[in-house]
Chain A
Amino acid sequence: MSATATTTGQIHEEPGGGKETNYLNVTHTIKSWLLTQDHKRIAILYMVSTAFFFLLGGIAAGLIRYELTSPAGVMLESETYNKVFSAHGILMIFTFLVPAIPAIFGNFVLPLMIGARDVAFPKLNLMSWYLYMTGGSLILWGILAGGVDTGWTFYVPLSSMYSNGQVTITLVGIFIAGFSSITTGINFVVTVHKMRAPGMTWFRLPLFIWAMYATSVIMILGTPVVAVTLLCVIFERAFHLPIFSPELGGDPVLFQHMFWFYSHPAVYIMILPGFGVISELIANFSRKRIFGYHFVAFSSLAIAGLGFLVWGHHMFVSSQSMYEGIVFSLISFLVAVPSAIKIFNWTATLYKGHIRFQAPMLYALSFMGLFTLGGLTGLFLASMGTDVHLTNTYFIVAHFHYVMVGGQMTAYMGALHYWWPKMTGRMYHEGMAKFAALILFIGFNLTFFPQFIVGWLGMPRRYHYYYFAPEYQPYHIMSSLGASVLALGFGLPAFYLIASLINGPKASANPWGAHGLEWNIASPPPTENFLEIPIVTDEVYDFDPTSEFEQEAGTHRIMHGDAPGLQTKDGDKKPMEDK
């Protein structure tokens, strides 16, 4: 039976049929949302709140790009500009990139993928969100009360002794938000270990789970270290306990060691979930098992492990010893290899698959290109001799935006578009989604590629003025123009995704014909996920690309309210009807 597209936001009774209860409509009160223990509702809470912080961080980015169009600035004082880029970094990293994919898609999909009813500790999960909101609110309060001008890295003695901004309250906010990370990590590790459905062995787990598992391990081991490091800065500032003060014999470089001990693994917290998403997208939109499943699974663990041994590559010119530098540089080259393995394996997955180009796949393919470039530019920085010249310049800024925005954000958009029908029960406008993916790719490159050049030319980062070197201006103008396009690439989805909630066609349980336990239940799923816990007998990604069904599936375009065979309750298992 086919469902008709609804034209209002209400879910109304279908004539002759029962209203489907799902996790969204089972209760309607605000209290039921704010006190929910349902991992799916918590995921939605995170989705809304992280989007809010992303918007703030994005506004800060817009201000930065606008200000940089002129070597002598446009409308901000230097102190304000410094506060704006600090806010941009803090918001984007701590309140968006670190939580986003794990807390939204990890929360929503992880229990479904392993065949569980929820995570191991639902109440703790809710507390994670409250910790996140508390931390985020304190950071916001710090910004509203004047902001910090220390950069998101809070180097001492600038942040402990010289800065006049709202350092303490911002650090307290980050400290609390860190515990959100830690509790989510604990939850996921225990859930994956102990709550897999019968028959769901480790090597039948979707690669997204492997990636989330590795991410959670890093969250657990790394976050407490930065928490205590920032606590030490709070100790110095608020309690006058000297830990790093140079004039008392303290060591400001010790702060850097402790800070980067977390903050380097943190970048793997940010990218590994993205890798997991890409595995899902490539497999399901090539209708083929990921090539070299074991290598890809273990590469996530390798990245998590090696990622803890490379922090000193942020400190080659910090006055750390040459020998330390050599060790960190060597291991940094080693940690690049597992990421390369993933890229090659994903490419090989496409070979002899059935590639479909719906929006999520466009984001995945986009990721392949942008992350490859971003990751390779990391090698320039792992190599000590070149890092001496490139460190603290726009080359670094370009590098990390390529991997974070071109990588993780693109994966985030892919995940959003892929699981949107599952989470909301609605389909969005496919044409607009494809267009938005293209805009994102173009805008992103226009924004950040010129920054590689201007960094190589020597322009340092965190510079408000560059009137000493006006020859950098053309690159900044190119970059800022690109940023407008990039903003469109992020803004468009907001528009059509929200529109889909209002009048998008209802989605079936499996609009993509994908494989995975989450696609065997309704869209949106019921609160308890599964009526009966499944017993898993199939291997993961068990597509058969030579089968006729696979050849036919997905060749129909999804149109608004009008896609035969794609709105059946049980997915694409039925033969297509001719239109």
Chain B
Amino acid sequence: MSDMTLHHDHGHGDEHGHNPAQAHQFENMEQQTECYITGMWTFLVTEVMFFGALFVAYTLYRWNYKFDFYNAHEHLNVMMGGINTMVLLVSSWFVVMAVQGAQLGKRNQVLAFLAGTQLCALTFLTIKYFEYSSKFADNLYPGVGFTTNPEHVHHANLNHAQIFYGFYFGMTGLHAVHILVGILVIGFLMMKWYRRHPSVVNDFVYTEMVGLYWHFVDLVWIFLFPLFYLQANPFPPSVGGH
């Protein structure tokens, strides 16, 4: 077995010259790190295709029903959506700081900023909870009980408004599921850091991978928010919206 120089300044090595964080299938740490990062990016590509299909479907419907979607969207709470956007952006910054901490081996920094991320995530979900509750209260969940009150959809066609809300709940719901998964994964990572588990302490790649995932989840929201909440008024100027 040829000796491979370790490119990561982690110091440890047993008598075979392996970093204990190196998995058996890899020849050296550099290969391992590259594989993990490439793998994570590849996974994110699959997520892009996953959400992308929904974005395309939503875009097609919005193109066909732009007036009704605009009218219906006016009932969404832009303030809450906007706060959520800021919350996620801040959480992304926290994650960047956490990854830096991992690279520098600063456990306290990692734990602090990951905790901050978790707080942001929980805030996001809480605000989401209130948003959804208000929608349910107005009978805006599609189905048999969908509202017949045109006020709640700002005089959009009720059928098309149902489709709008179908996408709204479907896509923001799927996104919220991804946030939840993120909370669990970050929690798991935090636990490993807390216990000074050598796999994360000696190798920042895991923290970086989690960071990439979180950035992606944030990015999805950055697209969702304007597409749903910040629609441009499609009505010609002489005719106002309702």
Contact = CB atoms under 8 A, between A and B. Distances in A.
Q: Do chains A and B touch in the complex (CB under 8 A)?
A: yes
Interface of A: 116-122, 124, 182, 186-187, 189-191, 193-195, 220-225, 227-229, 231-232, 235, 239-243, 245, 247-251, 254, 258, 261, 528, 532-533
A490 B160 CA distance: 52
A118 B27 CA distance: 11
B60 interface: yes
Contacts of B53: 224-225, 228-229, 258, 261
B185 interface: no
Given A194-B34, A227-B50, A228-B53, A186 B25 contact: no
A258 B52 CA distance: 11
A258 B61 CA distance: 14
B148 interface: no
A240 B143 contact: yes
A261 B39 CA distance: 24
Given A117-B25, A248-B162, A249-B65, A240 B31 contact: no
Contacts of A224: 46-47, 49-50, 53
Interface residues of B, number: 41
A118 B39 contact: no
B57 A190 contact: no
B54 interface: yes
A124 B35 CA distance: 13
Classify the interface of chain B: helix, strand, loop or mixed: helix
B159 interface: yes
23 contacts: A118-B25, A122-B23, A186-B42, A191-B35, A193-B38, A194-B38, A195-B25, A220-B46, A221-B46, A227-B50, A232-B54, A232-B57, A235-B170, A239-B169, A240-B143, A242-B142, A242-B163, A243-B57, A243-B167, A248-B159, A248-B162, A248-B163, A254-B57
Interface in B157-185: 157, 159-160, 162-163, 165-167, 169-170, 174
A186 B163 contact: no
Contact of B49 (A118, A124, A225, A245): A225
B191 interface: no
Contact of B25 (A116, A228, A249): A116
The 5 closest A-B pairs by CB, nearest first: A240-B143, A118-B25, A224-B50, A241-B166, A224-B49
A258 B169 CA distance: 19
Nearest to A116: B25
Contacts of A235: 166, 170
B1 interface: yes
A142 to B, nearest CB: 23
B119 interface: no
Given A121-B35, A249-B159, A249-B160, 17 more contacts: A182-B46, A194-B31, A195-B26, A195-B31, A224-B47, A239-B170, A241-B142, A242-B142, A242-B163, A242-B166, A243-B167, A243-B170, A248-B159, A248-B163, A250-B61, A250-B163, A251-B60
Interface in B31-63: 31, 34-35, 38-39, 42-43, 45-47, 49-54, 57, 60-61
B144 interface: yes
Nearest to A226: B53
A221 B25 contact: no
B16 interface: no
Contacts of A249: 65, 157, 159-160, 163
A221 B60 contact: no
B73 to A, nearest CB: 16
B195 interface: no
Contacts of B27: 533
A182 B50 CA distance: 11
Nearest to A197: B27
Contacts of B1: 532
B7 interface: no
Interface string B1-41: 10000000000000000000001111100010011001100
A240 B143 CA distance: 5
A225 B50 contact: yes
A509 B60 CA distance: 57
B160 A190 contact: no
Contacts of B24: 117-118, 528
A53 B117 CA distance: 44
A76 to B, nearest CB: 35
B16 to A, nearest CB: 13
Given A118-B24, A120-B35, A243-B167, A189 B49 contact: no
Given A121-B39, A194-B34, A533-B27, A242 B57 contact: no
